[in-house]
Each structure stands twice: as structure tokens, then as C-alpha cells.
């Protein structure tokens, strides 16, 4: 019987580990906890541990079948632990991807065993190291491009979706179940592998099983891709609706201003007549008193300039006037330049949602001082920071990281839109509440990053 040498362990481990490490780490390349260099060093350490572990744990005279059992158990457990150490993504996404790759690994195992037995025309397994490696590489060369397409075209867009969808909490069970079915009836003698060799008719069944497995994965992922498309479309519609609503409100405000100006011009004649009377009578005390009352009645603050950026200024001015109408104390501190490479649509949605949420919370407040404190500035050449704090006294409902709307029993559109725009510009959005104060903070790069497309 062929005994395992250190050369065999090194060669077989490299062949059986590196392709799958690539597939496991690929979808999470933007979620690495460490630099690419440190991640590669950790992966190499993992391979070295497997080789040394096999050399120490497997007794002298161990066969390939015993090494297969070692690889299946210890390598899988250590591999999963390695994923959690290197990747900071969603826990269940990592497990899902891990077992999808393991299902592919089992397929490659079986087909390479069958191919080796066919080439050598033998009833035994793993007697020739060269044949083993050759058959394994041959199967990988034929199947890996298809698996790579599967990962990049189907799995990658779904996994890299940053929003935490609830279906991930149970979706991992599907590939785990398929992987578990591979091992039903298996023992250290690898009865399924022997069935391939002793009965060549099992090959069509295994091919059908492999196709069925990955068709199931593909249909499931395609369904979720369509779901992501629908979510993106809904978000675009919500953004458009919000922008139109903002324009409508601004149009109404403009009409009200025009009407107010019309009334003021009509009343101005009466004021001038009275002023002329005080001048003709030389009644300076009455004239001064009248002018003071008239000036006090004017809303001088309504035209205050908030920042140099005209578009930010217009949006903030609009919500500032709304807050004043509702007797909400507003404190503003914006230091923004005239030129900001941020599209007007995204600016409207971001600021609109932040101020809308703050206004709504203050309107619902039944006691205490109502206030909104907003500030914004460029903290570097392209990094924009905006923070809005508002008072509130109602219960805030959450489902995980998502806020539940106070208007309907579903995820809040406003906070979700803020989060999406922040992520679109490679930034982040944080929401905190403490002692009756709700804080929304946004940090984003005004130079947009390429967005992930869903084909």
C-alpha cells in the first residue's frame, strides 16, 4: 500500500487547497480584515499547518483514503475558522459561500478518483502520486473556469450586496444540506468512491447530481439577483419621488412667498400713508414706535445665508423655514465651498431625508424643548461630514440594524436611502439615540466610486 510521504502531503495539499481558497476568498475581497499581503500570509500559514498536521497526526503507513478523511474533517474546520479570521462580512454569507465551494470540491474529488481508476484500470485508490495529481489537475482545468463564472456572475453580486437581507440567516442551510448528502453512507473506506471504481455506471448519476446541485444554487442566486434589481429600482423610484416632493414643496413655498409679497406691496401703501402723516405732524416718537413694530413683524431671518454652496443653501433654507413655522429651535453650522462634486439628486435625497426625519421626530414630540442641530463641513479635500441631532420622545423601533418606520410596519425608507447614498460614495452612515437625542451622521467621499452592477 502506498504510504504518505512529506512530498505527497505538500503536493496534494497545494493542489486540493489553493483553488478552493481562491473561490472562498474571492467574493469577500472588499471585506478583508487585513491587507492583501497579510491575508496571503495567513492563507500560506493555513496550508503549512495542514501539511505539518497531517505529518504529525497520520500514523506511518497511512493511505490516501485516511488522508482524505483527515482532509475532509480537519481541513474543513480549520478552513471555516480561517474565513472568520480573515473576513469581516456577514456570518451567514461566509458559511453559505464556504459550503458552496466544498460541494464543488467534493465533485472534483470524485471525478478525479474516477478518472484515475479509468486511466490506471485499477480497483484501488491513490496508488500513483503522479496519476493522482495529474487527474486532479485535469478535472480542475476543465471545471474551474465554469466555477469561476458561477462565482463571479451569480454569487459575487449577491454576496457583495451590503444590505443585510434576512434570508441569509437560513440560506446557508441549502449548500450545507447538499454537502451533507455527499457524505451519507460514507465511512473511512470511502464506499462512495469505491462505487465509482467498481461500478462505472455511477458516473452518469454523479454528473446528474452535480448539475442538479449547481442548477439549484444558480436558480436560487438568480432569484436573489432579481430581488436586488427590484430593490434598486424601488430605491430609484423612491429617490425620484422624494426629489419631486422636494420640488413641489419648494414650488409651494415660492408661491406662498409671491403671494406674501403681493400682500406686502398692497399693505405698503397704507404703511407709507401713516408714515407720511407722522412726518407731516413731526410726531417722531410715534414714528419711531411704529417703525420698530413694523421691523419686528418682518421675518428678517428667513433669508439668512447658511453656506457658500447654493444647492445646499437652498435645501437647508427650505427645511429651516419649515422648522421655524413649527416653532422648532434650529442651530446650523455649515462650512461648504461653492463647488462640490456631488450630484444634485443625491444631495437632495441625502439632506432631504436627514432633515425630514429630524422634523418628523420633533413634530411627534409631546413635551420638552424641540430642537434640530445640524452641521456639515469638508474634513479633507473630498471627505464630506454631515451631522444632524434632533430631540425626540417616542419609541424607536429596530429590526437588527434597520429602523422600522413610524408610518408603516416596515423598514424605514429615509434611513435606508441615507445609508445607500453613503455607501455609494464609499462612506458610512451611523444612527444613534441617547437620552432623548437622535443623531444621524454621514461621512462620504464626494468623488463617487464605481458601483457594483447587477446584470
Residue 62: what pLDDT? 58
pLDDT by residue (tens digit) across 1-48?
444 566 666 777 777 788 888 888 887 887 888 888 888 888 888 878
Higher pLDDT, 55 or 446: 446
Q: Which helix (H) or strand (E) holds 111?
A: helix 91-120
Q: How many CA atoms lie within 13 A of 301 on its CB side?
A: 12
Among residues 384, 318, 385, which one has the least CA distance to residue 356?
Answer: 318
> Would the pTM count as exceeding 0.75?
no
Q: Which helix (H) or strand (E) holds 174?
A: helix 173-182
**What is the phi-psi region of residue 165: left when phi exceeds 0, alpha when psi lies from -120 to 50, beta otherwise?**
beta
Name the pairing type of β-strands 402-403 and 428-434.
unpaired
Distances (CA, A) of 141 to 14, 112, 134: 15, 11, 10
Higher pLDDT, 7 or 424: 424
Judge contact between 104 and 23, C-beta under 8 A: yes
Residue 383: what pLDDT? 87
Distances (CA, A) of 44 to 12, 88, 89: 15, 19, 21
Q: Where are the alpha helices (DSSP H) in 281-343?
A: 284-297, 310-325
Distances (CA, A) of 6 to 50, 60, 130, 266, 356: 12, 11, 15, 99, 67
Q: Is the torsion defined by CA of 54, 59, 62, 67 positive or negative?
A: negative
Give the pLDDT band of residue 408 (cuts 50, 70, 90). very low
Q: Please provide the average confidence, as pLDDT, over all residues in the chain.
A: 77
**Is residue 413 over pLDDT 70?**
no
Domain boundaries, the chain: 6-200, 304-455
CA-to-CA distance for 119 and 413, rounded, in angstroms? 61
Judge contact between 374 and 387, C-beta under 8 A: yes
Judge: domain 304-455, CATH 3.30.565.10: yes
pLDDT by residue (tens digit) across 122-140?
555 545 567 777 888 899 9
CA-to-CA distance for 403 and 214, rounded, in angstroms? 36
Q: Would you tell me how many other CB atoms lie within 10 Å of the CB of residue 34?
A: 13
Amino acid at each position: 500500500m502506498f504510504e504518505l510521504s512529506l512530498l505527497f502531503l505538500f503536493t496534494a495539499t497545494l493542489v486540493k487547497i489553493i483553488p478552493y481558497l481562491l473561490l472562498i476568498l474571492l467574493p469577500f475581497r472588499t471585506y478583508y480584515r487585513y491587507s492583501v499581503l497579510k491575508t496571503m500570509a495567513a492563507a500560506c500559514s493555513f496550508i503549512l499547518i495542514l501539511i505539518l498536521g497531517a505529518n504529525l497526526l497520520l500514523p506511518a503507513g497511512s493511505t490516501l483514503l485516511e488522508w482524505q478523511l483527515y482532509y475532509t474533517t480537519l481541513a474543513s474546520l480549520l478552513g471555516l475558522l480561517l474565513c472568520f479570521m480573515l473576513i469581516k462580512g456577514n456570518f451567514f454569507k461566509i458559511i453559505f459561500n464556504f459550503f458552496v465551494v466544498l460541494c464543488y470540491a467534493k465533485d472534483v474529488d470524485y471525478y478525479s478518483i474516477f478518472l484515475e481508476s479509468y486511466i490506471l484500470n485499477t480497483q484501488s485508490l491513490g496508488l500513483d502520486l503522479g496519476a493522482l495529481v495529474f487527474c486532479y489537475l485535469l478535472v480542475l482545468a476543465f471545471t474551474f473556469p465554469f466555477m469561476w463564472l458561477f462565482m463571479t456572475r451569480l454569487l459575487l453580486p449577491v454576496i457583495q450586496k451590503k444590505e443585510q437581507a434576512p434570508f441569509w440567516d437560513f440560506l446557508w442551510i441549502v449548500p450545507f444540506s447538499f454537502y451533507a448528502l455527499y457524505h451519507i453512507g460514507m465511512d473511512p473506506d470511502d464506499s462512495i468512491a469505491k462505487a465509482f471504481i467498481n461500478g462505472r455506471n455511477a458516473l452518469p448519476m454523479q454528473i446528474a447530481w452535480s448539475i442538479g446541485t449547481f442548477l439549484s444554487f444558480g436558480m436560487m442566486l438568480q432569484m436573489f439577483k432579481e430581488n436586488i434589481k427590484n430593490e434598486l429600482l424601488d430605491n430609484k423610484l423612491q429617490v425620484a419621488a422624494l426629489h419631486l416632493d422636494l420640488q413641489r414643496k419648494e414650488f409651494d413655498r415660492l408661491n406662498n412667498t409671491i403671494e406674501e409679497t403681493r400682500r406686502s406691496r398692497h399693505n405698503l401703501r397704507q404703511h407709507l400713508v401713516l408714515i407720511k402723516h407722522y412726518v407731516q405732524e413731526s410726531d417722531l416718537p410715534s414714528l419711531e414706535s411704529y417703525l420698530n413694530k413694523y421691523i419686528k413683524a418682518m421675518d428678517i431671518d428667513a433669508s439668512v445665508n447658511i453656506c457658500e454652496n447654493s444647492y445646499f443653501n437652498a435645501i437647508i433654507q427650505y427645511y429651516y423655514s419649515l422648522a421655524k413655522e413649527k416653532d422648532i429651535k434650529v442651530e446650523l453650522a455649515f462650512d461648504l465651498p461653492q463647488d462640490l462634486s456631488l450630484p444634485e439628486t443625491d444631495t437632495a435625497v441625502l439632506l432631504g431625508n436627514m432633515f425630514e426625519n429630524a422634523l418628523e421626530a420633533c413634530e411627534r414630540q409631546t413635551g420638552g424643548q424641540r430642537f434640530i442641530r445640524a452641521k456639515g463641513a469638508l474634513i479633507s479635500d473630498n471627505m464630506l461630514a454631515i451631522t444632524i441631532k434632533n430631540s425626540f420622545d417616542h419609541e424607536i423601533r429596530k429590526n437588527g440594524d434597520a429602523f422600522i418606520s413610524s408610518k408603516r410596519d416596515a423598514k424605514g425608507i429615509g434611513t435606508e436611502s441615507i445609508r445607500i447614498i453613503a455607501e455609494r460614495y464609499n462612506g458610512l452612515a451611523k444612527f444613534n439615540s441617547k437620552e432623548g437625542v437622535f443623531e444621524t451622521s454621514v461621512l462620504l467621499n464626494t468623488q463617487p466610486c464605481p458601483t457594483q452592477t447587477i446584470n
